[in-house]
Structures are given as C-alpha cells and as structure tokens.
Homo-oligomer: A and B are copies of this chain.
C-alpha cells in the first residue's frame, strides 16, 4: 500500500531558501522572477540552495500579486466535432510556447453550461479564445470588458477576430465545379444563426453569380452527418448535379443519404465540403473540400491573444483572415449531361480510395 500524494513536510518557500542562503526573501524572489536584477553570483547561490531544498515557486501566490495566471481559456461548442481537434492543438501549442496552459471549456452545445464554465474560468485566466459559442454578441462584449478575448470564425465589430477566407474558398470551389461542367449548384446550409454559415452562403452565391452558375440554397440543416442526410432528401426533390455543403460533416451525411436513394457521388452528383476534417480523407468517396487551416487558426488566435494580454491594444480593426485552399479528391467529377439518378454504381463512385 503506497501513501498517496502525501506532503510529508511543508512545501519549501522563499523564506526557507532565503534563510539557508543568507539573503533576504525578496532576493530569492528576484532571483527567480527577474534574474537580471540580481548579482549573478548571488543568483547562482540562491538557485543552488533552492535546488537542494527542492524549492518550487508557487504560481498561485505569484498570481495573487501579479494578476497573471498564465492560463488561457479555450471555448468550443462540442469536442466531438472533429474540426476542433486541430484547433485545440494549435491553441495548445501556441500557449505552451509562451509557457501558458490551456483551460478547456466544452459548452456541450448548451448555453447554460457555457456560461457556468466560463464564469468559473474567467477569474483565473489571463484571456480567452472563443472558438465557437452560443453566446450573443452582447454577452461576448461583456466578457471582453473583463478579459482580453479573441473570437474565431465570427466577426463582431470592435472585437479581435480571426476568420478564414471563405470568399476565396467558395470561389475556388465554384471554378472547380464550373470546369467539370456543372452550371447549376445547390448550397446546403448549416445553422441559420451561425456566422460562418452566413458568410459561406454569401460567398458561394457571389462566386456562382460571377461565374454565371445558377445557384440555389436548401436548409438550414444541422451541421452534422444527420443534417447531411436530411439535405439528401431535400436535394432529391429539387436536384442539381453539384452541391456545396456548409461543412464536411454535412457533406459526408449527404453522400450517405444520396447513396441510399440510389444516387451516386460523384457519378450523378458532385459534392464539395468545407473545413477538411480528418475524416474527409477517410470516407468513400474521399471528400473534395475547402480546407481551413485549423491548426494555424488556433495558433494565430492564441498568439494574438497573448500579445493583448501583454498589454497590446486589441487593434480591433479588421478581422485577421487566413488563407484556405481547395482540396480535390473523389467526391467531384465531370458532369454527365442528361444522366438520371439511378442505383447502378459507376466504377469511379465505388472504387475504394488509394
């Protein structure tokens, strides 16, 4: 039987070290917090004694006076949503590079939970990255009065934001579909209140118009696989040969749903998603998608947040926009004019990927 996490003796403090090293406590403090303000010999001796005594500076006590915890909060709507995995890593890495630690808040799609968790975290973090949120603009503004904040994929005037270049992504997707002969495409919308959904739809609309492609919108659907399935039913009623979905999850669900209806992707219908989640390369057919630089986005937001924490103003001019690129895989193909939806599989549509 082991003795669990005992602290046999009191934690050693700067006072212990000070006494042992024959200096004042403040000198020990300086030796660790601002070494440049201490004679290098003294500093060396202090560190050595500290080492011997097993001294570790207590971040809590430090934070109490400095008002800096080196903790930042990351809020996401739902951790099982694969887009967030890379985002989290980006945030986590940028934070770690600045010797900060990330506090995780999964709102679990619940307004109440998000508020509660945020309320708990806010007093102990130096700032927050809001990766997705059910909070209103007003609520976010309230938070930004208490702590530095950076918002992802959402543009709130006067609040620092980092977004992806949806217009360019939509443009590339439209061009790609145009080249394949599609002259009429459908946008399958995500949640109505989502800022990202709004901008993506407008971007697709604009791109299609510019390229003389007819465009139509269906939805809104839930931004999930099931949402995509629902879109399939809707699409059958008003078919086009190409579809752009709000996100990859919907695209995957749409392809499923279509397949069930005997409609082949990309044989009968071409599908393009948004985001490039990991699964996009795993499904059959592999998904053509507009890839967002998820990791980079997390990292960029965090770096910006850290500079704000260090006193920079939020320079709340324009949102920072990150480049996207179109990744062409197997869910898009040349349009076969006059082809009718039918259950016979084409070679292409069924081939297992690479």
Contact = CB atoms under 8 A, between A and B. Distances in A.
A103 B104 contact: yes
Interface stretch (A24-32, A61-69, A214-222, A234-242): A61-69
Nearest to A7: B146
Interface in A295-354: 308, 313-314, 316, 345, 350, 352-354
Contact of A345 (B2, B93, B99, B350): B350
Nearest to A106: B92
Count of chain copies: 2
Contact of A123 (B60, B256, B259, B284): B60
Contacts of A58: 123
Interface string A61-89: 10110000111001000011010011011
Given A117-B101, A121-B101, A149 B85 contact: no
Given A64-B64, A106-B88, A148 B101 contact: no
Contact of A1 (B86, B108, B123, B158): B158
Contact of A101 (B1, B82, B86, B103): B103
B5 A148 contact: yes
A262 to B, nearest CB: 10
B352 A2 contact: no
B80 A124 contact: no
A120 interface: yes
Q: Which of A58, A92, A225 has the most CB of B within 10 A?
A: A92
Nearest to A349: B352
A342 to B, nearest CB: 14
A145 B2 CA distance: 9
Contact of A144 (B5, B71, B116): B5
A37 interface: no
A4 interface: yes
Contacts of A56: 123
Contact of A80 (B59, B85, B141, B313): B85
B89 A108 contact: yes
A285 to B, nearest CB: 9
Nearest to A157: B2
Contacts of A225: 282
A96 interface: yes
Given A60-B60, A80-B85, A352-B259, A4 B148 contact: yes
A79 B255 CA distance: 27
Nearest to A280: B282
A284 B352 contact: yes
Interface of A: 1-2, 4-7, 56, 58-61, 63-64, 69-71, 74, 79-80, 82, 85-86, 88-89, 92-93, 96, 99, 101-106, 108, 113, 116-117, 120-121, 123-124, 141, 144-149, 158-159, 225, 252, 255-256, 259-260, 278-279, 282-284, 308, 313-314, 316, 345, 350, 352-354
24 contacts: A1-B316, A2-B316, A4-B316, A5-B148, A7-B146, A59-B123, A59-B124, A60-B60, A74-B104, A79-B88, A79-B89, A80-B85, A82-B278, A88-B104, A96-B117, A101-B104, A101-B105, A101-B120, A101-B124, A225-B282, A256-B352, A259-B352, A279-B279, A350-B352
Given A5-B146, A101-B105, 15 more contacts: A2-B141, A4-B308, A5-B149, A5-B308, A56-B123, A79-B85, A88-B106, A93-B106, A102-B103, A102-B104, A104-B104, A256-B353, A279-B279, A279-B282, A282-B282
